[in-house]
Each structure stands twice: as structure tokens, then as C-alpha cells.
Structure 1
Amino acid sequence: MYYQSNYPGYHQEGAASYPQYPNSGPPPPPMNAYGYSAYNVNQYDTGNPGSGYFHQPPGMVPGFQMPMVQQMHQNALQSPPQYQPQIMEMPTTTYLKSMDAHLYQGQMQHQMNMMQTMAEMFRAGQNPSEKKAEEIIAKAEEDPVLATADSVQKTMADEDIHLKVKAEMKRVFVAELMRRQAVSGTFEMTEGTVKPFRRYEAGDPVAAWYKKHRGEDKTGQAWDAECDCEYLRDAMKGLGTNDEAIILVVSTRCNQQRQELKDIYKTIYGRDLITDIKGELSGDYKELVMALFVAPAEYDAWCIKEAIYGLGTDEQALIEILLTRTNEQIKEIRQAYPNVVHKKKTAKQTQFEKDIKDDTSGDFKRLLISASMGKRYEISQDKLLQAVQEVVNPQDGAETGMFEVNYRLLSDQAKAKNEAQQLYKAGEKRWGTDEETFNRIFSSRDYYQLRATWDEYVKLTQRDILNSVDRETSGDFKAGLRAIVMNIRSRPMFFAEKLRDAMKGLGTDERTLIRIIVSRSEIDMVQIKECFLQLTKKTLWRWIKEDTSFNFKKLLQALVGKN
């Protein structure tokens, strides 16, 4: 446990099976041009919080009835090769295969609904191509048109509308895939458990307090930062602290909304919200609340600084952050790092690489330096466009107007075979290990190229790449290579394993628990929870209940959610 808070100023080896690569998802939520960040998975519009609430549609939609999509998926699995989706396979469990099939169905239903929304816009004389992607999605969110087999056939029969809708579907689909790559490095769907707070529903404690003390009913109205600030101020005034109020607000507002709360609080009270909260809380509970009020890139930068400065080095924290963040996120960390280290003044030059070099050594140091560049190859939009293909009816080859990614077109198979050979010669085939070859390939290739290379490696050596990493490398360098493999195969499973390790056995690694839950709560915590359940046979919520206590436990549970 740790109690000294040193946040940046506030002025401002698991053995689990990893899932196969799922299909790409539905047309996107809107791209937010205001304050866009690679960490901003929710795309919350800080310029217009009242109407800027959007989030990714869930990857899984339990309980829906979609016989047409289900039949299409089943037919695709049994259809001739030319109509089968070309999905790269990974060894996986039956559970994860069924989860992926369910995900595929949900994605197709979302695309059908979007297609119908666009068709209705064209019939009403509106032209979606003249609107931004976020405006189209807003239309679909506010006035959804649920697709049925009959409505889809009607759209398909109208050739003019069908062609227009298909062009728009592909445009917004590709834009969303590129946004996902910036957030997670892949084109797979993810969903956080913490989303932007949209409006005060009936029974909301903030709305109830505001009606009692201000005489104004906020029920059904859009989120108001000032209401939250007044509610928080009342929770901290006088003797004692209303922890339930603090937990409610910080666990149900997204990070960008929390940043806005800090500004509004100072505006209406002339007081610093973080200073007031710090004076009321203590222990791990305080550390968790403080972390939630830091901008994501700044928080990652602070965690890296804490891992390096002082006695010893927290190699696991460096691995967990530097080897799992995307290029865009690494760039944001590099920008934030100088001011995190130099709290009292603005640093003109970054110390990012120098600090890593000075505090690590050998092959592990070189692996981290490679990651800290934020220059891993990524799939270009032109290459993605070539891989995005229209889904066809497996029975007759007819067009559907929906799209998916042919993952085989994202990788160079000849190069994958060649680099699998290089890895074999650098490890299994020789006495000793050529660590430089492992670093070069693992640190630079895009996710889909590495997946293809590791598939070829199995064919060549009859060993999984993780087995060879364990045999041929050691120490922190081995831990780093393992993290790259597990993260690229399935980032949610990687973090599920880290959460399990932080809580299993005697004692709890509170710092790791805080770092992972805070950093992933808005990105992929839904998928992490699914993997955690498969890994441990218990929910993450239950593990937190059994391994932590008091307000620290309550806030962690609120962030991850019970269901």
C-alpha cells in the first residue's frame, strides 16, 4: 500500500488462451474534431457537453433476435471458399470462438441499422455524403431505424439508393477503423465501462440534491458541470466527507468531463477541486480518485516517471505502458512527460528517452527505446481500403451493402514467411540468441504483419512464438517480448492477466490495480472483464470485492461495473 501522493501538479506470464482476431465492426460513432485524442475512445465533445455524448456501440448484444444475420453467418461458415470471410485463425478456446461469432452477428446488425438510417435520409431528400460522419451517427443514435429483412430487401431493390448508401457505408466504416487503430492498434471493437454522462435520469442523486437545495428539477436534462461541482462542494464542506457523493461523480463521468469539473469548480468557488479532495481523502482511495482526475496521457507519463525516479526501477510498469500504447498515445505521452518531470517550470526539451536509457540496461533498454519512439508501422488508409470488402450473401453471391475486413490482405505473407525464418535462425536454430533480430521485428511491424509472422513461425518450428521467447531469452527482455506478443494477440486478455496477478496470493498490488483500471476504464474494460471471467472463472467485480476494502473497493467496483 502507498499513501504519499506525488501526482503531476494537478494544476491543470499467464498461460491463458488468446482469442482469435475478430471481424471489424459496424459503422462508427462520430469523429470528434474538437479536442481529438488517441486516448479519447468515447469521443466526448468538450466544446458542447450537452449534446456531445457518443460512444462506441457494444461489441456484444446479448439477447437480440436476428435470424437473417445469424443465418447469413452460419451460411458463410459453410459456404464455398470464395464467399467465406478470410479471417486469420489463432488457437483459441470454444468459448472465445462462440464469443467471436456473437460479436460478428452484433456488428452486422449495427451495419444493417445504419444502412437503413442512411436509406431513410436519402428518401427524405437529405444527402448523407454532405454531412460529417458524426452527424450521420447522431441521426442514427437519436432516431434509430431498426433493420428487418423486409426493409433491407426494399433498400436493395432501389438501385439508386442502394448504390448511394453503399458508398456512404464504406466511407464511414473506413474512417471508424482508422480511429480504432489510433486508440488500440487494431481494427477490433472495444468498449469502456465508463462513458460520458449524458443526462440526469429519474432518481439521480445529483438531480435530487439540486432540486432540494436549488429548487430546480434537472431530471431528463443534459449533464451540467456546475450542478456536479455544487454537489461535490456540499459533500466536502463541514465535518466529515460524503464519500458516496464523490464515488458517484468520479465513477460515472468520463475523463474529459472530470477535466471540465476542475475548471468549473475553480470558476464558481475560486478553489482548487483537487486540493479540496486531497484534503478529505487518504490512502489508496485518495490515490485512485487523484488518478481519475488526471488526463490520460499525463497519467501515463506520471506512471513512467514514478517507475524510473527514486530507488530502483518498476520494470513491469514500464512494460505495461510502453509496450501496449499506440503510436498516437506514445506521442501524447512524450509531449506530457517534460512537464510531469519539471512540475514547477516548463521543460524545453524532453527527457523521455534519456530517463529510460539511464534507468535500464542491455537488450531490455533497447526494447523500451524502440517502443518509446512511437513509430511502429501501421496500416495506411490506402491499404485498408484494399482490404475492406463488401459482405456478400453466401447463397447467391448477392451484395448486402455491409462491409468487413479481409485480414489476409493486411499482411504480406511472403514477408511473414521470411521473417519467421529470420526469427528461427536468430533463436531456435543457433547456439545463443540474436536478440537484435527479435527487437527489430517485434518492435517495428504492424499488428497484422506480426500476427501473420507468428502464424508462419508455428508452421516452420512447430512451436508457438511464446515458447521460443521463453526458451531463448531471459529477464526483463523476455518479459517485454512476451508482453508484445500477448498484447498484439489480445490486449484485453493481457490486462486481465495483469489484474489477476495484482490480486492473487497474499497481498495486493494496489498500484498496478489502480493503473490498469484507471487507464483502461474508457477504452476496453468490457472486453477485459470478459477475458478475466474466462481466465479465473470469477468476475473482476467479485475479485475486487474479496481483495480490497472500504471506499477503495467501492470506487474500483463502480469503475469496472458488476455486469
Structure 2
Amino acid sequence: MYYQSNYPAYYAGAGSYPPPQYPNSGPPPPPMAMNAHSAYNVNQYQMGGYHQPPGYVPGYGMPAVQQMHQQSMQMPQQPPQIMEMPTTAYLKTVENRQMERQMERQMELMEKMEDMVRSGQDIHSQKPEEIIEKAENPIKPVQATDVAMSDQQIQAAVKEEMKRVYVAELMRRQCVSGTFEVTEGTVKPFKVYVEGDPVADWKEKKQSMNIRGKPWDPEYDCEYLRDAMKGLGTNDDAVIHIVSSRCNQQRQELKEIFKTMYGRDLITDLKSELSGDYKELVMALFVPPAEYDAWCIKEAIYGLGTDEQALVEILMTRTNEQIKEIKTAYPNVVHKKRTAKSTQFEKDIKDDTSGDFKRLLLSASTGRRYEISQQRLEQAVEEMVNPQDGEFTGMFEVNSTKLCDMEKARQEAQQLYKAGEKRWGTDEETFNRIFSTRDYYQLRATWDEYVKITQRDILNSVDRETSGNFRTGLRALVMNIRSRPMFFAEKLRDSMKGLGTDERTLIRIIVSRSEIDMVQIKECFLKLTKKTLWRWLKEDCSFNFKHLLQAIVGKN
């Protein structure tokens, strides 16, 4: 692997986090400087653009979110309309729009790569992530050189590299979400202090220093935070601004620099200044992602009762590599006062759950679901042809039928049918075996074949043939594999609808998805409820807790 961490990461120099006690929770220093990206950082340039295999819910980009939000403000308030999880038939209807987005983004990248070749850069010797990085953030406008290359030669050079870069980007996506779908977080690495930035304004007012246009410096942020917590009261606006606009990796660095500058612990200071759900949210944002997931699992297991919903939500949605990082962090989260020599992750799950539900969670906790290899992906990636003239375009797409073993899909659809609908009772072991081992695209193919055999959607059969927490876990797997953003949108809606609010679930989802796919979750949330997530938070939460949540998810 190019980097170790499989959560979004940010690199800001040799002093960046994570600390040595969690060697697997962050990337080692990459060979690039400021703004180098983890191999799994979903916030980098969306190469291949919006190539979305079935499972993504498109059509609600930022302009649409703004427009529908404005309309909802003018229309009489109505009870939220609940939309069921998209069925297999519905998912098939989105492919044309997905193709359009993929072509648009690939054309953008091709143009930028052509500019790089014209400027004399050798793109053949560069790593795919370096090409994407330069295409996204050119340091200065590229200028043509004296390199004697015709337009045809330049196009040929770019075409040769497009597939390599495209495949590398898709493999990186699989490590984040198990699919090749493009996702985007609302919280991204803070890069430059711009006009109107609160830290820049404070720096000029207090120290007569103009830092506008300068790259992010953790010292400036630490000075700003220290001033916000001095004396009586706390400048909560300052805390909310820093915490919501810096990515997790930058927050880790703030903790280290704050202690170096002042000999004080930033977390201890914040705890003494904040309270309630607002404090819990801030504390969660300062925990590394793998450690936070491990802490949530520990909280779900230890104490009275078991929070099965939290276990399902985490274990059914994390990738293999993310689960391995959780298992690494878990023993030290459980044993705060001593270093645990071995993990007890699976033992705790086994001791606190039972029956088929226990076996489903244990299958997920191994982090061994099959994944699509790079060789298999390369065989499925095909160059697109212009239907008008039959010429190759230099852009690529994934032939999803080549990702799957269709014969196996038909056989396993029959096995699911015989394990459920065809017999009296249910063979839960067959459901567990197939649902827990196959990669996402193989399962989608199997469920398509299942509909042909039974004339039922797989969710319908799961509801009919299983029960209790086992059914909850299977449903979560199906929804997650079909459309993870829609799954989390439903969970957010359920945490706030009716009387009262499930603040812990609300915090857990927004914190854990803020740098991964919150943009897509917001789009799905709008489709579900006819209100933006920002508006729902405004009506359901209060005070600084509300303001920080809104700052994280964004208004648009």
C-alpha cells in the first residue's frame, strides 16, 4: 500500500499526527509536500469524475440542493415524506446520468493532462496520485515548451496514461467504501487563510500581522483557540470555526502544537470550557477515525445492555482495511490505563451478542470480505466508443458484467431462494455465508438474479424470512451495498424524527462521515425528507450543539 491509513488523511509536514502508539491509524510522510493525499483520501480530485456503478443516487448536486432548500422555505410545512430504499429496478435507471458525469470529469482530466505534456512534464514516470494532485492544484499556469510534439502525439500520450490513472483512482475508492463510487466529504483539509477568515482577522487585529493568502499554520490556530478560552467564558464561535473547518488530521496536529506552545493539553482545556452534547461532539471530532470507531463499539458493548444499532451501523459499513485498523486501536481504547497486548475485539462481540446476529457480526469483524483485485478491475475497464463515428474516445468505463461471475450469481441466487422462500423456516447460515463474503458487485449481481427467480426484491425476502437483530443486520448490509449514502441518510432521519433526538447516533454518523461521503448523504437526505439536513438540524437541535453540527454538514 502507498499509505497505511484507510480513513481520510491529511499531511502537513514532519510533525503531523498520528502519534506512535497508533502506528496504523495514519499515513507515513509521503514524498509530496503540503496537501499530499492519502491513497484513500476521498476529498482529493474526483478522477473519473462521477463514475458511479449502480447504487448511487444521482441528480441532486449542489445547485439542486440550494434550489430545493429555497423552495422548502417558501412552501407550507408538511410531514416528511418517507422514501423506501431504492430497489434494484430503480437503481438501473441512473446509469445514463452516471455515464454523463463520468465523461465530463474524464474530459476535464484529459485536458489538464494534455497541458502537463505540453509543458514538458513526463506523465509516464509519475505516480497516478501525483498526476491527479497536479491536475487538481496546479502550482502555476503551465506553458508550452519547445518539445516537438504534435497534437496527435500529445493525445496519444495522454490516452496511454488515462487508464492507469483511472484504475488507480478506482482501487483507492474501493478501500474507502468497498465500491468504485465517487464520494465527497463536507470537511476538507484547510489550505489557505483567505479574506474574511476569522483567524486572519484576529491575527491582524491582535498582532498587526497579515496572514491572508498564506498556507495553514497550526500555530496561528492554536493562538486563536488559546485566546478564545482565556478569562471568563468561551468564544464558542472561535471553537466552532476551527473544529468544523479543519480536517481530522489537522486537529490531531493542533493537539500536539498546542501542548508544545503552552504546556497545556488542548482537550483538557476544551473539556473544562464546554458542556453537554456540544462538548461530546467536539471531543469526538478530536479523536482519530479508527480510534473513534473503536470507542463507539466499546460504548455499544460495555455497561448495561447492548447498542445493537451502533454495532450494525459500524461493522456493516466499514471496509476490510478500516476494520483492521479498528481492531488495532480497540484494545487500547478499552484499557485506557494500560497497554493491551492483544485485541479482545471479537471476544467482546461474542460475549455480548447471541445467535445468528452474533455470527453475522463476527463475520464482519474479520475484515475479510472478498474485494476486486486490480488485475480483475483492469480487465473490466474498457475504452469508450463514440456512437456517432465508432471511434475510441480515450475515456474509460467499467463493464460491470466483467466484474462479476454471473454463473456464480445465478447459483447463489438459487441457494438463497432454497434457504428462504422455497422452504419452511429459514437457513440463516446460507444468508450469512453469501452476504458476508462476496464483494459488493458480486452481491448486486446475485440480487438481480434473485429477483428473476422469486419475483421479489431481496429486501422483501429478508423481511419475510428473518427476524430480530439478524434481520436488522442483513437489511443494513443490503442497503449499505446498494447505496451507503442513502443508508446513512435514513439513519440520520430516524435519529431526529418524532419526539426527542438520539444525539449519540447523530454525533456518530456526522463525525464519522464528515470527511468521506457527507455530500452524498445530504443529497439522499433531501430526497428522503424534502428538507435539507441543515434545515432539519436547525429545527431539531439547539444552541452551540446545533451550530457546530450545521457548520460540519454545510448549508448548501
TM over 0.5: yes
Instruction: Provide the residue aligned with 1:464 in structure 2.
Output: 457
Verify the 8 A CA contact 1:116 1:145 in the aligned structure 2: no
Verify the 8 A CA contact 2:10 2:36 in the aligned structure 1: no
Q: 1:130 deviation in Å?
A: 1.3
Instruction: Provide the residue aligned with 1:55 in structure 2.
Output: 44
Q: 1:36 deviation in Å?
A: 4.2
Q: 1:111 deviation in Å?
A: 1.3
How many angstroms apart in 2 are the aligned matches of 1:62 and 1:394?
Answer: 30
Verify the 8 A CA contact 1:337 1:350 in the aligned structure 2: yes
Instruction: Provide the residue aligned with 2:116 in structure 1.
Output: 121
Aligned-partner residue type, residue 436 of structure 1 = E
Q: Secondary structure at the match of 1:271?
A: coil
Q: 1:106 deviation in Å?
A: 3.2
CA 1:43–1:428: 2 relative to 1, 3 Å: farther
Q: Does 1:418 align with 2:385?
A: no
Q: Does 1:38 align with 2:6?
A: yes
- Once the two structures are superposed, residues 348-402 of structure 1 have per-residue CA deviations (whole angstroms, 9 ceiling, x without a partner) of 1100000000000000000000000000000000000001111110112211111
How many angstroms apart in 2 are the aligned matches of 1:176 and 1:237?
Answer: 45
Q: Does 1:376 align with 2:344?
A: no
Q: Secondary structure at the match of 2:90?
A: coil
Question: Counterparts in 2 of 1:463-542, with a 5 A limit?
Answer: 463-542=456-535
Verify the 8 A CA contact 1:496 1:531 in the aligned structure 2: yes
Q: If the length of structure 1 is used for normalisation, what is the TM-score? A: 0.84
Q: 1:90 aligns with which of 88, 91, 105?
A: 88
* Number of equivalences: 495
Instruction: Provide the residue aligned with 1:76 in structure 2.
Output: none
Q: 1:349 aligns with which of 336, 342, 353?
A: 342
Query: Can you give the 5+ residue segments of structure 1 that lack an aligned partner in the other structure?
Result: 1-30, 65-88, 147-155
Instruction: Provide the residue aligned with 1:75 in structure 2.
Output: none
Verify the 8 A CA contact 1:416 1:449 in the aligned structure 2: yes
Aligned-partner residue type, residue 258 of structure 1 = R
Verify the 8 A CA contact 2:278 2:544 in the aligned structure 1: yes
Q: 1:335 aligns with which of 328, 341, 346?
A: 328
Instruction: Provide the residue aligned with 1:275 in structure 2.
Output: 268
- Once the two structures are superposed, residues 239-292 of structure 1 have per-residue CA deviations (whole angstroms, 9 ceiling, x without a partner) of 000000000000000000000100100111111100000000000000000000
Q: Secondary structure at the match of 1:164?
A: helix
Q: 1:101 deviation in Å?
A: 4.5
CA 1:43–1:471: 2 relative to 1, 3 Å: farther
> Which stretch of the first structure deviates more once superposed, 311-320 or 397-406?
397-406
Q: Does 1:306 align with 2:299?
A: yes
Q: Secondary structure at the match of 2:241?
A: helix
> Which stretch of the first structure deviates more once superposed, 107-116 or 288-297?
107-116
How many angstroms apart in 2 are the aligned matches of 1:117 and 1:182?
Answer: 26
Instruction: Provide the residue aligned with 1:11 in structure 2.
Output: none
Query: Can you give the 5+ residue segments of structure 2 that lack an aligned partner in the other structure?
Result: 17-28, 38-42, 51-59, 65-86, 142-148
- Once the two structures are superposed, residues 284-321 of structure 1 have per-residue CA deviations (whole angstroms, 9 ceiling, x without a partner) of 00000000000000000000000000000000000000
Verify the 8 A CA contact 1:389 1:406 in the aligned structure 2: yes
Aligned alpha-carbon RMSD (Å): 2.3
> Which stretch of the first structure deviates more once superposed, 102-111 or 164-173?
102-111
Verify the 8 A CA contact 1:367 1:480 in the aligned structure 2: yes
> Which stretch of the first structure deviates more once superposed, 161-170 or 45-54?
45-54
Q: If the length of structure 2 is used for normalisation, what is the TM-score? A: 0.85
How many angstroms apart in 2 are the aligned matches of 1:522 and 1:323?
Answer: 19
Q: 1:103 deviation in Å?
A: 4.6
Question: Counterparts in 2 of 1:93-242, with a 5 A limit?
Answer: 97=93, 101-143=96-138, 158-242=151-235
How many angstroms apart in 1 are the aligned matches of 2:245 and 2:424?
Answer: 55
Q: 1:403 deviation in Å?
A: 1.0
Verify the 8 A CA contact 2:360 2:432 in the aligned structure 1: yes
